[in-house]
Amino acid sequence: MDSDEEDSFVRDFHDEEKGEDYPSDDDNGPEVNSDDSRDGGGRSGGLDIAEVDKKVADAIQKRRAAKAAANLKSDSGFIEDYKDVDERLGDDFEDTRWVPPTLELAWEWRLDNLYRGGRAKQSRTKLTKSTDLGQGVPLYFLFIQTIAYALVLMSLLSVPALLFAYYGSHVAESDKDFAGLYKLTVGNIGYDPESARYAERSACSGNPDIICVRLFSLEFSLQSVAGILTVCELLQALVFMAAVWRLKARCNVVRKRTEGRLCSASDYAVRVDNIPPDTTLEQLVDHFSNLYCLDKPDWRGRYPLEDAKPLQHCNNTGKAYHIGTWVAEATVYSEIGSLIRAFKDKKMLMTNLLRHRARMKMYKGDTPHSHGPNPAKYRIAERDMLHAGSQIDDLTRKSLLKAKKNVITTDAPNSTSQVKGLNAQAHTAYVIFNYSESMARCLDDYSTFNLFPFKIFMPGKMMFRGHRITVTQACEPDEIVWENLEVSSVRKMARRAISAVFALCLLIVGFAIILQAAEYRRVFNEEIPKLNMCHKEIPALYAGSYDFPSGVEIVRPDPSEDDTGRTRDDYDLECTARVKGSFYAIYTTNGNFNSPLANYSITDVCKYGSSAATTDCPLPDQSVFCPCLSSSSSDTCETLSCEESNGNCDEFKASTVAGCFCYQELLSLFSSPLLSLWSQVQTVDANCEEFLTSYGSALLLTVAASLCTVVINFVLKSIMKYLAKREFHTTVDEEHRAIVVKVFIATYINMAFVALLAYGYVNKKPSIVTNASILDSEYSDFDPEWYGNVGFYLIVTFIIQMISPLASVLFKYYIAKPCRMCRAHPKIESLTSHKYPMQADVNALELGGVFDTTVHTAQLLSLLFFGMTYAGGMPLMMPLLAATFCFYFATDKMLLLRYYQIPPKMSDAVMRVVLSLLPWVCVIRLSFSCWILSNEEIFPVTELPIDALPSYSYFDSERVSSMYNTWVENQVNRDLYYINTGTRIPRGHIIPIFALMIIIAVGTILFTILRHSPLYYMARTFIWAFRSLRRLCSKKAVNIVKSYDLAVSGDPRRSEVAPYTGDYFQFLESELAKSKAKCCRFSFLDRIFMSSSEELSREDIENGWRVTYKTTHKVKVTQWEQTTRVDGVTRPKGSMKRTYEVISTYGCTSYMLHRIPHYKKVFNAIQEGVSSIADEHDEELGRASKMTVVGNYNKHKNKQQHMAEEKKKANEKLWTKQKKGKAMKSAKVAVDNDDSVRPYEDPNSESSDSDRLSDDE
């Protein structure tokens, strides 16, 4: 990096965006503005390198060769990306020309940021076994894959329920949804009791008293169907729990595989809390180095480690006081979180500033842009740049003024803060030991005394300067959210409370919308006549008895003329004249208008046509009926049963008859083909338009409620993710866990339970719930009509929520991204584009964002919980869930290999949350199945038949049947928290489901409690004591610990045995397996398997690992393939890589802020600001003109203006001199032309030639 770049925060930030300087393109690659670098730029782009023009591919290979030839390393150990040129957007950006972005650099950036360069084949790439993506991504795909297999099996087990539901007809016509989804729900099993053929269809052929269901040619009783569904539910629950157990086992395998292949700084580091405010690094190094030395017995008498040596160099830190100690690095974090947070916000603003600067250069007078300079756009870009610069300056000024009281002089010694010149108190320390054995011993000692009251008894040697410190294993340096380390618990709880309030407000909004949809649907359902009225009660009034012909329909006259010469309009006009707002329609047999069910007359019996008629209702003793039907009549009518049963009857409105006709029209629309639906809608009778409009409004509102639920889920996901990042989590793992839990809980409640609260009804409930209209709708149970209304809403919501997230990404990948590239690439190549002034803008065209497994995991969890909650009543959810997980697996895998940027390496923190939640999916599924399958309308309560019990001489089946039936009767009307459980749990097909639910729930709770109970820690103490005793019994004559013994011990804290600053090595798995085989009874089997196993994986060989020997054991090592300079030290070709050098290839090696990539530029900006204040002794901010963006620009602009004025004056002076010289020359020419005054010149004289030459000049 150039020296002036180190002095400027703007240039530092720009270097972070583009990488460190490497040899220029003029020396090692194609020139930026040359024609060769533009070849192939008009292609659609974003393709693999094989699809790019040969010249572009050659250019990329040249640049990569130059990158390899540079052999440079940054201070943090990371190889800098040689992926674009210096665009010169620092403070002196106007001194240079605009550097146009190039397509070949964008293609190279794409190959560098795509997983394996985009060449990995989808069919051969197994992401579940990949070790170069950390643990998070393989575990994410493993979770999807394992659950998908389970869901496929569970979908097969749900086939019986789907068949029984599809071939049933229990849902009434008025409750059926237009899509026919009710046919795939449990509510459709059996037959509608209000239908005319119910008695005929539901009676069993062998025993008419038993209700049966027919499937193909088979006949099943409802009790048998309930038993089959119970067995399927139990098997599905067992399959799912087996999948959860399998997932845990496979997660452990992935965790061990990645931990065994990837070493990290956390394998050697501990975190130290409760340290004194004035702690120094030397004090930390001395304290821990004296306690945990390994070349002799330590303070507790533990044996030394074989071949262990203290630090021989300090190349990793550059601090000489580490040499001769056992601590490789010590770092003290000071309380500068507010400064870090403020300058991170400033970093976000710098992108806009750099873009505006690039636009200014693009429109300058010397621009290479094809359209030339543009003064108007230059002034707009300058205005935007000054606005962004003023925002950055205000943020800088406010941040540093807050810290000014803690600023000391730069020359003053200060060891408590990483920021020189800032008097901040020490808060936390991080110590990296040179050996993992020292770290493990440190954790063994301090873990006992970390908690109260054991901390009181901490030995004096373990105290640090008299303070009882707390020591825990450290996280990875780049996984720590450093600015949140000093935040108090109160502030964290306040932020989490704010997150909960926001989520609650959004859930209330969603509930209000769904409640409105439910209310509108309820009003419409009141307008729809009951099917029993249309098909039974009203026709009985017209026929005079319940014994009337089948196939009764309401028919309107034909639009054309009939035998009497009248048309439909003539009949309607006649009805309108008699009954206002009525139309002509009669009940007929089989839809034949000439075969009416009764006698009709307009003039004799209609209400307003004769004084004898006083009502629009058909009367039981009436012989002639009025054919004019009114949809607005409010007269109350009585059914025929009122006459027969002396008042014990039903009532209905006179408008119900017109409603029956309109509802009949609606059902005919449902039965019409989808392609001809629009033409059928246009032929609907005009008198039913209002009825159909109301139905359409209710339907659209239901669909709109589903869409609204999905939109609210999207908003919840975005807000919860935003708020979770601002809850002051101290590690990235905690942040990811918070995102998953918050997004999952919020979206799951919004999808699954808001609808229950809006559509449900509970009789006994608190007044506050009643006032809020919660549980105050029309459905008190999972009745058949619930499935046609609420079930339809839930299924539609699930489908939309399943498709929408990935559909948007697929749209961007297949449509939006190619179209945008096709439009942009030709303009970028021809230098005519105005939208892409920077190389980073062109790079963004090639790929999408970073692959985010946290949000995807939360979405899949919410869909899984949502589908499993209602799968007992809607078995269609199981195939939908299986399709969802398969679709997510295939799509995410394809997008990760072709579209997304390589995600950062994550731990298994998210998967631990998932594994802790998955058993509760099964508990919720079984509990809702108990509720759904115990519905009395679907599976009526029946006594236990004696024939169903086995008959043995010693078994009194009649007594058992009597006892069971009496017990069930005693449970009737017993409520549990306002829920009637009398005939639910005691039923024969519910008891097994309820028992399995209790077993899983109690087992999960007990396992969780035992993991945090004293018994668990007592068991761990017993195991530790047993192992210690065994080591003492097997003690050898040489009291020394060997590295191989540590590797085979199985302790994850001792898995890395190589020194942190020494040559790295790792024992092969085959060597570790030999030790395990010695104590195995069937060791010959292990030898068979070990002989066929490979010593190095294909991935290890590709990464340059090789096998060698350490004493008698095989180890794998890696070495430098070429001479390289690392941290200012030259590492020759063929030398072994040290441990921290191996870690630097894929991770962070230091806990110093300026060496952590995400904090490096922020730290440099803080250091520059603090230094500027420390050098100033008055009340002003100090060096403001240098540190402010606007000040630097104005200063530079004034300098340019001054230089322009000086240049103008110089030009004017030169012009005056030249003008004067020309006048003198013309006068001399006139004299020379006059021979009388010309002096004598010697032709041989040398002066004459020189004078002549000067005149020419």
Concatenate the DSSP letters of all residues of 346-390 into one string: HHHHHHHHHHHHHHHHHTSTT---TT---HHHHHHHHHHHHHHHH
Q: Quick check: 1238 and 1232 in contact, CB under 8 A?
A: yes
Give the model confidence (pLDDT) of 1164-1188 as tens digits.
Answer: 777 766 665 555 544 444 444 444 6
Sign of CA dihedral 180, 186, 189, 191: negative
- Token couple for 23: 């040899």
Report the interhelical angle of 732-752 vs 792-811 (nearest 10°).
Answer: 140
Q: Is 73 exposed, middle or buried (0-12, 13-18, 19+ CB in 10 A)?
A: buried
Q: Name residues of the chain where pLDDT drops below 50.
A: 1-56, 67-84, 409-415, 609-611, 946, 948-955, 976-978, 1035, 1037, 1077-1093, 1177-1187, 1231, 1235-1257
Q: Which helix (H) or strand (E) holds 582?
A: strand 582-584
Position 367 scores a pLDDT of: 87
At a CB cut-off of 8 Å and minimum separation 6, what does 340 contact?
482, 483, 1159, 1162, 1163, 1166
Percent of the chain with pLDDT over 90: 16
Measure the CA–CA gap between 39 and 53, rounded to whole angstroms. 7
Read off the amino acid at residue 510: G
Quote the CA–CA distance of 861 and 855 in Å, as a whole number. 10
| Nearest CA among 865, 637, 835 for reference residue 745 | 865
The SS3 assignment for 1125 reads strand
User: Phi/psi at 292 (nearest 5 deg)?
Assistant: -130, 55
34: which 2 tokens? 């040359």
In degrees rounded to 5, what are phi and psi of residue 73?
-135, 150
The letter for the amino acid at 565 is G
CA angle 1239, 1243, 1245 (to 5 degrees): 90
Say if residues 139 and 254 touch (Cβ distance below 8 Å).
Answer: yes
Side-chain half-sphere exposure of 79, counting CA atoms within 13 A: 16
- The residues pairing with 220 across neighbouring beta strands, listed in sequence order, are 213
pLDDT at site 160: 93
| 470-473 and 269-273 beta bridge pairing | antiparallel
Distance CA 790, CA 341 (A): 47
Tell me what pLDDT residue 1180 has: 45
Which residue type is seen at 59?
A
Q: CA-CA distances (angstroms) from residue 116 to 901, 1100, 1142?
A: 11, 15, 19
Task: Kindly report the backbone phi and psi dihedral angles of residue 331, in degrees, each rounded to the nearest multiple of 5, phi listed first.
Answer: -135, 135
- CB-based contacts of 458, cutoff 8 Å, min separation 6: 449, 468
- Which of 159, 150, 235, 186 is closest to 926 using CA atoms? 235
pLDDT of residue 1230: 53
Eight-state DSSP code of residue 667: H
Q: Assess contact for 813 and 899: CB atoms under 8 A.
A: yes
Q: What distances in angstroms separate CA 190 from CA 168, 878, 942, 977, one per listed residue?
A: 5, 21, 15, 30
Q: Is residue 66 a contact partner of residue 23, using CB atoms and an 8 Å limit?
A: yes
Give the Cα separation of 1094 and 978 in Å (integer).
64
- Decide the pairing of beta strands 470-473 and 586-589: unpaired
Contact 243, 168 (CB under 8 A): no
Q: How many Å apart are CA 580 and CA 607, to the nearest integer?
A: 10
pLDDT value, residue 1232: 53
Bridge partners, residue 731, by sequence: 480
Structure tokens, 506: 């959004």
Cα 621 to Cα 325: distance, rounded to the nearest angstrom: 112
Task: Rounding to the nearest 10 degrees, give the CA dihedral for residues 931, 936, 942, 943.
Answer: 50
Partners of 552 in beta bridges: 589
Structure tokens at 1250: 């020189």
Question: Nearest CA to 606 among 574, 643, 638?
Answer: 574
- R_g (Cα) of the chain, nearest Å: 42
Residue in 586, 731, 733 with CA at minimum distance from that of residue 661: 586
Name, in order, each residue with C-beta under 8 angstroms of 476's C-beta and a sequence gap of 6 or more: 264, 265, 266, 907, 1147, 1148
CA dihedral (1166, 1169, 1173, 1175) positive or negative = positive
Cα–Cα distance measured from residue 94 to residue 380, given in angstroms and rounded to the nearest whole number: 16
What token pair was written down for 967?
A: 């017990």
Residues above pLDDT 70, as percent of the chain:
75
Show the beta-strand stretches assigned E in 803-931: none
Phi, psi at 175, each rounded to 5° = -110, 5
Q: Which two three-digit tokens encode residue 1190? A: 């606007």
1113-1118 vs 1066-1067, strand pairing mode: antiparallel
Q: Which two tokens stand for residue 138?
A: 């393989």
Q: What is the DSSP string of 977-1022?
A: TTEE-TTTTTSTTTHHHHHHHHHHHHHHHHHHHHHTSHHHHHHHHH
Sign of the C-alpha dihedral computed for residues 288, 289, 290 and 295 taken in this order: positive
pLDDT of residue 112: 83
In one-letter notation, the amino acid at residue 462 is M
Give me the pLDDT at residue 453, please.
78
Q: Which of 447, 446, 483, 212 is nearest to 342 (CA)?
A: 483
Q: Please name the amino acid found at residue 725.
A: K
Copy the structure tokens of residue 1237: 């005054």
Q: DSSP for 1186-1232, please give it.
A: HH-HHHHHHHHHHHHHHHHHHHHHHHHHHHHHHHHHHHHHHHHHHHH
The pLDDT value given to residue 12: 39
689-724 vs 732-752: helix axis angle to the nearest 10?
Answer: 160
Distance (Å, rounded) from C-alpha 327 to C-alpha 983? 70
Q: Which run of H or of E encompasses 64? A: helix 54-70
Alpha helices in 646-764 (DSSP H): 655-671, 677-682, 689-724, 732-752, 754-759
